[in-house]
Amino acid sequence: MEQMQKVGGAQALFRPIVEKCEGCERVVEADSAKTCRTYANPEAKWRVGFCNYATHAKPEITVVKVRVNPLKASKRAARRKK
């Protein structure tokens, strides 16, 4: 009985998930409220832009092409051949 009260009290600390959390594997439904089992305040995680605990979304990585100076590249290649 004591363990059930602790679990109930712990569930009260966790806030409901936000819309962006739908589809995540860490979402737990208890007492008709969906909560995140990893983080107590999911809204704060998404406020910055992306939740690092999200299992359903991957961050978009943009690859920036670096412009190479051909003069410096040829000099570096010549140094390596020696």
DSSP 18-35: PGGGTT-TTEEEETTEEE
Cα 56 from chain centroid (whole Å): 9
> Is the whole model's pTM more than 0.75, yes or no?
no
Cα separation of 62 and 64, whole Å?
6
Going by pLDDT thresholds of 50, 70 and 90, the confidence category of residue 1 is very low
Helix (H) or strand (E) holding 35, with range, is: strand 33-36
Amino acid 47: pLDDT:
86
* Model confidence pLDDT, tens digit, residues 22-65: 888 888 888 888 888 888 888 888 887 788 878 887 777 788 88
The token duo for 12 is 């009260």
Q: What is the pLDDT of residue 5?
A: 34
pLDDT in the model for residue 6 = 40
Confidence check: pLDDT of 3 > 80? no
